[in-house]
Amino acid sequence: MIEERLVFLFAGFEPMRADAHIRRFLRGAESAAALWDRPIWIAPGPAATEGDGDLFPTLLSKLESEGSQTRAEIVFCDWGDLILAYRARPAIRRFASGLLALADFLVTGTVFRYFRVSWRYGLFYLFPLAIVAGAIALGSLCGFAVAAALGGTAGVLLGIVIGFALALAALVLADRRLHLLTAMDDWAMALDLCRGRNPAIIERMERQGAVMAALMASRPAQEIVVAAHSLGASMAVAALRSALSGNAARAGRVRILTVGSSLMKTALHPAAAPQRRAVAALVVDHRIPWTDCQSLSDPINFYKSNPATSLGLRDGRTPDVVRIHFKQMLKPETYRRIKRDFFRVHRQFVLPVERRCAYSFHMLLLGPRSVADFAATRSVDIPTPGESAVTAADGAEVRSTMPLPLSQPQKIASSPSAAAPVRAQ
């Protein structure tokens, strides 16, 4: 039973700052506590560091569980400002840099490694290229049709104008409906992360590592969890290795939790040798317990990969891979509504569940069960002192063969500030 936990949370690639992630986490935490009938107190805490509090804001929580209490400090390791800097560029530059990044991943053979490790992610790589190709094809066909119908120089010029306009309109529509430019920013930033050519990214990971090292040394937490979603896993691995360098003793309390990870997106690139060395340090040198949650429903995670063995690491402590099913976590109507929106499905890893099941991102970070035990004992209900574990398969909702005492429904006790927006400073 964990009574004191320190969490470093790395969000995925989304163009928003930590204050928005905090508001989302607050809603999810209160929803999870209500679902499991557990009173919770959760509110924004003081910044983890002085001078750059907007980069490391915190939440403090207390979750009651049948005579015990779990206190957690969640430190949000923000890198949303870096993402927004990519988004702030002119649209033509965002589009061009994304195409160049996609070309780099192809020429270096990284795409073929995607298909070897997780073919579904290989198809996700093709997604923006398919949109661009479809827009060009649409414009070309219409332009040729106009030119053939009108004939002459005027018809050709008009066909070119109409074809270009239609292709551009299709790309604009794809951006609004399918977030094309955000996907291009994602690939451009991922390439910069692989090649180490954006000093702001390198500086941020070093700063995150320094803050993590300082808090690890000053907090008496029983369990230190480094949790990351999507491309945040690439940032988290580098920062954690930096935090543990020179002080291996800190690794004893550390646990890694990656959900919907895109670590392989960068680590499989030939230029990402520092990232592969970071993974090796964590699993071989420090032997840190690592749980990687994946879902077949999500095409943006590397389903059936392993953070270590997919990179050729066979020694050390092999990360545990847990496969979860969103369909069994959500109400049928919710799953039907989101299942074709793969960006929304990808975010489900860090959103609240609607049915009691083994996987709940918020309960893993706020509840009494050790994150390291989750892969081996996937319990549906929150354990209480002396209670037997109940196992479940891959996030499925199950019933215990022996009754587990649950408290009567109680109103969630939150501080008044918990629901208030947290503004970036």
75 and 95 housed in the same domain: no
Compute the radius of gyration of the chain from its Cα atoms. Answer: 23
| Cα–Cα nearest to 270, from 113, 127, 129 | 113
Which DSSP letter does residue 353 get?
A: P
User: Could you say which of 190, 225, 257 is where a domain stops?
Assistant: 190
The angle at the Cα of 347, spanning 294 to 238, to the nearest 5 degrees, equals 65
For residue 62, list its beta bridge partners.
41, 71
User: Could you say which of 190, 221, 256 is where a domain stops?
Assistant: 190
Domain count, the chain: 2
User: Could you say which of 135, 167, 190 is where a domain stops?
Assistant: 190
Query: What is the chain's pLDDT, residue by residue, as a tens digit (425 residues)?
Result: 889 999 999 999 999 999 999 999 999 999 999 999 899 999 998 887 777 768 999 999 999 877 789 999 999 999 999 999 999 999 999 999 999 999 999 999 999 999 999 999 999 999 999 999 999 999 999 989 988 888 888 888 998 999 999 999 999 999 998 999 999 999 999 999 999 999 999 999 999 999 999 999 999 899 999 999 999 999 999 999 999 987 776 778 899 999 999 999 999 999 999 999 999 999 998 999 999 999 999 999 999 999 999 999 988 788 999 999 999 899 999 999 998 898 999 999 999 999 998 899 999 999 998 888 887 766 555 554 444 333 343 443 322 222 222 222 223 333 333 333 333 32
Q: Is 250 helix (H, G, I), strand (E, B) or coil?
A: helix
Domain with 124, as residue range(s), is 90-190
155 and 251 housed in the same domain: no
Establish if 104 belongs to a structural domain: yes
Establish if 425 belongs to a structural domain: no
Establish if 424 belongs to a structural domain: no
Rounded CA gap, 101 and 97, in Å? 6
Q: What is the pTM of this model?
A: 0.87
99 and 148 housed in the same domain: yes
77 and 211 housed in the same domain: yes
Establish if 408 belongs to a structural domain: yes
369 and 255 housed in the same domain: yes
Residue 58 near residue 46, CB atoms below 8 Å? yes
159 and 209 housed in the same domain: no
271 and 125 housed in the same domain: no
234 and 302 housed in the same domain: yes
